[in-house]
Amino acid sequence: MKARAFDYRRVASVAEALDAYGACAGEARYLAGGQSLLPALNLRLDAPDLLIDIGRIEALRGIAIEGESLRIGALTRHAETLASPLIAAHAPILTQAAAYMAHPAIRNLGTMGGSLSLADPASELPACMRALGATLEITGPHGIRAVPADDFFQDLYETALVPGEMLTAVHVPLAASGSRMQFTEIARRRGDYAMVGLAANLVLAEGLVTSARLGFCSVGPTPMRAPATEAALTGRPLDGDAITAARAALGDDISPDDDDSLSAAARMHLARVLLGRVLATLGEGGAEAVAA
């Protein structure tokens, strides 16, 4: 199990990376943490001609408040996400999700940008970005563009990135007053891909849910929002009736397929159970953002 041969170039800036990509006659890939790319190379599932190592571009690092949002650099390691006080304060759902992401040694190299660019529907961060209403900052040969998370994830492993573009940062809105967040997933073993996972981001005011954003992982080809369920929750107290209504509405939002490891019926059932449990937790407070 050894990778096919390729060329390798380490770059010091985003501009240099984009140039290298543009100059490559064959297939090029950006290499960040490599925790998904390296297995694919070792298995020869992917065999590019050139790897452009962006792992040391300083501009892609850093977590900081910029205006009304938190800017998280694309090279932020999962371990940094897990440990960041800023993220814990303003987007605690990411702190919770990072703890579910694989295992400590993977989290030491795996990056925010890498995980989002891969867009594995079973992974945690894409679902969180949809629940958070994040904006993804994409840099390409023609400059920088901003894409809402809801538009970024297009199909199985397909994103709004066009060849040569790079995800350079995400901008997460600071948690609103009254927001309650929870990320939980159901997996066979600690660190396994989720059978179903849920990032829930609710805002409550005067006892009523004023905003609900739900991001599911492992229930479809992309991280999935649940608009009918969100609507069923909005404008009412987060009580048992609301949870029942939400569980019922979920059938309008997702319809998982059978796969080798789990039937559609089981996955749908687990999604409903998870939804109910997460909402019950949020009804009791959940992880409240300190900014609230």
Partner 1 sequence: MSAAADSPGAGRYIGRGLPRPGARRLLAGRGRYTDDVVLPRMLHAAFLRSPYAHARLGVIDVSAAAAMPGVHRVLTGADFEPLCTPWVGTLSHFKGMRSAPQRPLPTDKVVWAGQPVVMVIAETRAQAEDALEVIAVAFEELDAVVDLDAARAPESPVIDAGAPDNVLFRTRIEAGSTASAFAGAEIVSVDLRFGRHTAVTMEPRAVLADFDPSEARLTVHQSTQTPYQFQDLYARHFGLSEARVRVIAPDVGGSFGMKLHLYHEDMAVVGASLLLKRPVKFTADRMEAFASDIHARDHRVRARLAVGPDGTLRAIEVDDVTGVGPFSAYPRTSAVEGNQVVRLIGAPYRLTDYRADLTVVAQNKVQMSQYRAVGHPIACAVTERLVDLAADRLGLDPFEIRRRNYVTDDMYPHTTPSGYRFEKLSLATCLEKLHALMDYPALCAEQAALRAKGIHRGIGIATYVEITNPTPAFYGVGGAHISAQDGCVLKLTPAGEVSCAISITEQGQGSEAIIGQIVAEGLGVDRDHVRVLTGDTETTPSGGATWACRGAGIGGETALQASRKLKARILEIAAAILQAEPGTLDIRDDAVTDADGMPRMTLREVANLAYYRSDLLPPDVSPALTVAHHFAPRGYPFAFTNGIHGSLVEVDVETGFVTILKHWVVEDCGRVINPLLVDEQIRGGVVQGLGAAFFEECRYGETGQLLNGSMSDYLVPMACEMPDIVIAHVETPTLDTELGAKGCGEAGTAASSGAALNAVNDALRPLGAGISQLPMTPERILRALDVI
Partner 2 sequence: MSTPQSLSLTVNGTPVRHFVEPRLSLADFLRGDLGLTGTHLGCETGACGACIVNLDGQPVHACLMLAVQADGLRVDTVEGLSEAGTLADLQAAFHARNALQCGFCTPGILVVAHDCLGAWAASGTVPSREVIRDALSGNYCRCTGYEAIVDAIESVAKARAGRSDPQPGREAAI
Q: Given the rule CB under 8 A, which residues bind partner 1? A: 1-5, 43-44, 186, 188-193, 195, 260-263, 265-266, 269-270, 273
Using DSSP's 3-state secondary structure scheme, residue 205 falls into: strand
Tell the residue number behind the tokens 């987060």, with chain if given.
Answer: 238
108-147 residues in contact with partner 2 (CB under 8 A) are 108-109
Q: Which does 16 bind (CB under 5 to 8 A by kind): partner 1, partner 2, none?
A: none
Q: Which does 104 bind (CB under 5 to 8 A by kind): partner 2, partner 1, none?
A: partner 2
**Residue 244 binding partner 2, by CB under 8 A:** no
- At 280, list the tokens: 């019950």
By CB under 8 A, name the one of 133, 191, 221, 276 that touches partner 2.
191
- Give the separation between CA 63 and CA 228, rounded to whole angstroms: 33
Q: Which does 270 bind (CB under 5 to 8 A by kind): partner 1, partner 2, none?
A: partner 1
Name the DSSP class of 292. -
Q: What is the 3-state secondary structure (H, E, C) of 12-27?
A: CCHHHHHHHHHHCCCC
Segment near partner 2 (CB under 8 A); pick from 15-23, 45-53, 139-147, 271-279:
45-53
**Residue 162 binding partner 2, by CB under 8 A:** no
Judged by CB, which is closer to partner 1: 35, or 139? 35
- At 178, list the tokens: 């009254």
By CB under 8 A, how many residues form the interface with partner 2? 32
By CB under 8 A, name the one of 68, 190, 207, 284 that touches partner 2.
190
Using DSSP's 3-state secondary structure scheme, residue 45 falls into: coil
Name the DSSP class of 71. E
- At 12, list the tokens: 């010091």
Judged by CB, which is closer to partner 1: 236, or 269? 269
Judged by CB, which is closer to partner 2: 56, or 236? 56
- Give the separation between CA 270 and CA 82, rounded to whole angstroms: 26
Site string for partner 2, 76-105 (x = CB under 8 A): ---x----------------------xxxx
Strand 166-173 with 135-140, pairing: antiparallel
Q: Which does 6 bind (CB under 5 to 8 A by kind): partner 2, partner 1, none?
A: partner 2
CB 149 within 8 A of CB 72: no
**Residue 266 binding partner 2, by CB under 8 A:** no
Cβ-in-10-Å burial (0-12, 13-18, 19+) of 64 comes to exposed
- Give the separation between CA 216 and CA 233, rounded to whole angstroms: 16
CB 107 within 8 A of CB 97: no
Residues engaged in binding partner 2 (CB under 8 A): 1-8, 10, 31, 34-35, 38-39, 41-43, 49, 51, 53, 55, 79, 102-106, 108-109, 189-191
